[in-house]
């Protein structure tokens, strides 16, 4: 309608300047009505005879409202493109040195029922046969085992009677000596995690196979062991070869991602565990890492199935690198029942070391002695609690002192 009005004014002979001025006012009013504002001050008319002002350039399509005239807004990312997430902040594992001190402190704060009962019996003025029976019962209930219990009691009888010990400090020193001797500090508890060199001169990572039945905290222990190695400055690759438990690979991958450790896993449940283990070792070798930790399935119902599964994994792994360690994870609170499981794994897998989880349960501390005697291999690592860094190298002296600080 505005254009028709202007054409009519030109037809009746109205001067061109006046028509242009009127058109400008109409355009401004129409633009103001669109934005909800009214321009109450039109621009001054140009002098008579002046050329018509040039039309305002059309704003670019991508210019932002309110931006300076002639500038172009930066391109916006499409709405369906998410902003890049910042990389996660990696956790720094606690130093390994001094971790077992926390176990000793926990045993002390809890009253250490094992150490307390032993000291109470041995501190009596006159030890009767009933007292010695009570001492023996205390050790058996602590899962020390029948053989080691007899050795401890016989040695204590001799020392107390022959030397006439009565002072609490003397009794405690004798008991400490006997317990330490039975835990055996002479065993080699070092963890084989150093890269090795093959006969052809190639350097290959240390391969640690972790075995054990379900429910002992095996996968969690693998994750915590990765943190121990990272804290020591080692590079690690994890192999999620427990392909029968749906959440095992996810759980292991979560542990590794927290400290920047890669996890090699299968895309499907029920995949061949030996294949996953082989891929993990090959990846570790290609990337030049120090250690490959391989988690295995524990849902094996009979000895024959266990032998077949672990035997195949071992054969496949050794094509890429020799096995450095086979660690058996046991729940310390299961006591003597756990030894039956341990015997089967020891026969099949060639166990080189024991990891005892939940050792902060003080009444069952004697399982350390029993499992070493039964399997002939040392306890190398102990789990102290639920925290991510509650896994520590086993120290016999710190363990015995923790028991006797009650």
Lowest-confidence region among 43-52, 124-133, 213-222, 386-395? 43-52
| 50, part of any domain | no
Please indicate, yes or no, if residue 339 is contained in any of the structural domains: yes
In a domain, 165, yes or no: yes
Flag whether pLDDT at 235 surpasses 80.
Answer: yes
| % residues pLDDT > 70 (the chain) | 72
Q: Does residue 406 lie in a domain region?
A: no
Classify residue 49: in a domain, yes or no. Answer: no
56-65, 129-138, 353-362 — which is least confidently predicted?
56-65
Most confident of 191-200, 300-309, 356-365: 191-200
Higher pLDDT, 84 or 402: 402
Q: What is the CATH number of the domain that holds 251?
A: 3.40.50.300
For residues 20-52, b (16+ Cβ closer than 10 Å) or e, as one string?
bbbbbeeeeeeeeeeeeeeeeeeeeeeeeeeee
Dihedral sign of CA atoms 383, 387, 393, 394 in order: negative
As a whole number, mean pLDDT of residues 176-184 equals: 90
Domain co-membership, 293 together with 230: yes
Q: In terms of domains, do 200 and 320 share one?
A: yes
Q: SS in 3 state form for the chain? A: CHHHHHHHHHHCCCCHHHHHHHHHHHHHHHHHHHHCCCCCCCCCCCCCCCCCCCCCCCCCCCCCCCCCCCCCCCCCCCCCCCCCCCCCCCCCCCCCCCHHHHHHHHHHHCCCHHHHHHHHHHCCCCCCHHHHHHHHHHHHHCCCCHHHHHHHHHHHHHHHHHHCCCCHHHHHHHHHHHHHHHHCCCCCCCCCCCCEECCCCCEECEEEEEECCCCCCHHHHHHHHHHHHHHCCCCEEEEECCCCCCCHHHHHHHHHHHCCCEEECCCCCCCCHHHHHHHHHHHHHHHCCCEEEEECCCCCCCHHHHHHHHHHHHHHHCCCCCEEEEEEEEEHHHCHHHHHHHHHHHHHHCCCEEEEECCCCHHHCCHHHHHHHHHCCCEEEEECCCCCCCEEECCHHHHHHHHCCC
Question: Are 248 and 312 within one domain?
Answer: yes
Give the domain extent around 235.
Answer: 196-396
Top-confidence residue, 218 or 4? 218
The listed range with the strongest mean pLDDT (46-55, 234-243, 291-300, 380-389) is 234-243
CA atoms of 98 and 358, how far apart (whole Å)? 18
Nearest alpha-carbon partner for 359 in 350, 371, 347:
371
> What is the structure's pLDDT at 390?
87
Binding residues are 212-219, 295-299, 357-360
> Please, which pLDDT band fits residue 26 given cuts at 50, 70 and 90?
low
pTM of the model as a whole: 0.75
176 and 224, same domain (yes or no): no
- Asked whether the predicted pLDDT for residue 291 surpasses 90, the reply is yes
pLDDT of residue 223: 96
**Which whole number is the average pLDDT over 103-114?**
61
One domain, residues 165 and 207: no
Between 177 and 108, the more confident residue is 177
If asked whether residues 278 and 347 sit together in one domain, one would say yes
- The rounded distance, in Å, linking the Cα atoms of 209 and 326 is 5
Q: What is the pLDDT of residues 139-158, one digit of tens each?
A: 888 888 888 899 989 988 88
Pair (123, 172) in one structural domain = yes
- Mean pLDDT value of segment 65-85: 45
Residue 246's pLDDT band, with cuts at 50, 70 and 90, is confident
Shared domain for 105 and 158, answered yes or no, is: yes
Claim to verify: residue 175 and residue 252 sit in the same structural domain? no
**Domain stops at, among 183, 217, 246:** 183
Of the listed ranges 92-106, 148-162, 198-212, 294-308, the least confidently predicted one is 92-106
Tokens 């939940």, residue located: 358
Per the structure block, which two tokens stand in for 58?
């059309």
Residues 161 and 206 reside in one and the same domain: no
**What pLDDT score was predicted for residue 321?**
92
Extract the annotated binding site for GTP.
Answer: 212-219, 295-299, 357-360
What is the CATH classification number for the domain harbouring 125?
A: 1.20.120.140
The count of domains in the chain is: 3
Strand partners, 208: 293, 325
Residue 110 clears pLDDT 60, i.e. is over it: no
Residues 218 and 284 in one domain: yes
Predicted confidence band at 84 (pLDDT cuts at 50, 70, 90)? Answer: low
Domain annotation covers residue 88: no
Within-domain flag for 29: yes
- 231 or 28, which is more confident: 231
122 and 219 together in one domain: no
Of 124-128, 290-294, 314-318, where does mean pLDDT reach its minimum?
Answer: 124-128
């Amino acid at each position: 309608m505005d254009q028709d009005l202007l054409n009519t004014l030109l037809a009746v002979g109205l001067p061109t300047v006046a028509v242009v001025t009127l058109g400008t006012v109409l355009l401004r009013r129409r633009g103001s009505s669109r934005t909800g504002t009214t321009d109450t001050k039109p621009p001054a008319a140009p002098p008579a005879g002046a050329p018509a002002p040039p039309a305002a350039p059309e704003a670019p399509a991508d210019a932002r409202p309110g931006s300076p005239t002639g500038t172009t807004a930066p391109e916006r990312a499409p709405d369906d493109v998410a902003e890049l997430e910042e990389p996660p902040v990696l956790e720094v594992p606690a130093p390994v040195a001094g971790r077992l001190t926390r176990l000793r402190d926990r045993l002390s704060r809890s009253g250490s029922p094992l150490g307390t009962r032993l000291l109470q019996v041995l501190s009596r003025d006159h030890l009767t046969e009933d007292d010695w029976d009570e001492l023996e019962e205390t050790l058996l209930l602590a899962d020390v085992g029948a053989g080691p219990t007899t050795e401890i009691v016989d040695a204590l009888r001799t020392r107390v009677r022959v030397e006439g010990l009565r002072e609490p400090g003397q009794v405690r020193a004798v008991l400490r000596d006997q317990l330490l001797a039975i835990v055996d500090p002479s065993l080699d508890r070092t963890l084989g995690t150093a890269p090795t060199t093959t006969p052809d001169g190639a350097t290959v990572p240390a391969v640690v196979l972790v075995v054990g039945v379900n429910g002992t905290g095996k996968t969690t222990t693998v994750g915590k062991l990765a943190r121990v190695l990272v804290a020591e400055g080692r590079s690690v690759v994890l192999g999620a070869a427990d392909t029968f438990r749906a959440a095992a690979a996810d759980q292991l991958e979560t542990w590794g991602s927290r400290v920047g450790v890669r996890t090699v896993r299968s895309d499907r449940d029920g995949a061949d565990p030996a294949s996953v283990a082989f891929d993990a070792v090959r990846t570790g070798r290609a990337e030049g890492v120090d250690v490959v930790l391989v988690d295995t399935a524990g849902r094996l119902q009979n000895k024959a199935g266990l032998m077949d599964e672990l035997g195949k994994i071992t054969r496949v792994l050794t094509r890429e690198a020799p096995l450095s360690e086979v660690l058996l994870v046991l729940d310390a609170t299961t006591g003597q029942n756990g030894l039956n499981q341990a015997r089967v794994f020891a026969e099949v897998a060639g166990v080189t070391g024991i990891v005892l989880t939940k050792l902060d349960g003080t009444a069952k501390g004697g399982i350390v002695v029993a499992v070493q005697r039964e399997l002939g291999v040392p306890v190398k690592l102990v789990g102290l609690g639920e925290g991510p860094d509650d896994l520590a190298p086993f120290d016999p002296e710190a363990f015995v002192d923790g028991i006797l600080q009650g």
